[in-house]
Amino acid sequence: MKKLIVIVALLAAGFVNAQAFNGKGDQKFQVGANFQDEATGLNLTYDYGLGENISVGLSSSYALGVDDVIADLTDFGDRFDLKARFNANLGNVINIDENFDVYPGLSLSLKNFGGHVGTRYFFSSGFGLYAEAAFPLAKYDDNVDLFYNQFTFNIGASFNL
């Protein structure tokens, strides 16, 4: 009986397709926490595969926990950011594990033009974890550094759609 259970478990694991990025038509949704100076918040990301290693998408963040010193100075527009993004999905290029993806990219947001570097690892065909660091390359307004015009870090759950 034990041998049968082990064989079934191995066969079931072999049929699970948990690739981190499948290429054209692949869709990912990510939800996580956003960390930066003076605030923490929520981050939502959607990516759509255009080719074997290329994806585009949208990312949105909202700063929820703002330090008391600047809380009175901020409104919705200061706390919210929306980005159009372009990724180079390199998981199959570096070939560490088919469930692992590394994706550097560029983004154009309401606050700046920036870059990001992220990783995601899928534990099953539908669920994984991600971590992403974002940084500005060019700011629209040099006098505004409250939110998103600085280094930010996101971590959370990733889902295949």
Q: With a cut of 50, which residues of the chain have pLDDT below it?
A: 4-17
Q: Which residue has the tokens 């079931």?
A: 12
Backbone angles phi, psi at 74, to 5 degrees: -110, 145
Q: CA-to-CA distance for 90 and 10, rounded, in angstroms?
A: 28
The bridge status of strand 100-109 relative to strand 127-139 is unpaired
Whether 104 contacts 90, CB under 8 Å? yes
pTM over 0.85: no
Which amino acid, residue 105? G
Alpha-carbon distance of 13 to 111, in angstroms, equals 44
pLDDT at 68: 60
Looking at residue 16, its pLDDT comes to 42
Separation CA 57–CA 43 (nearest Å): 13
d(CA 161, CA 159): 6
pLDDT of residue 30: 97
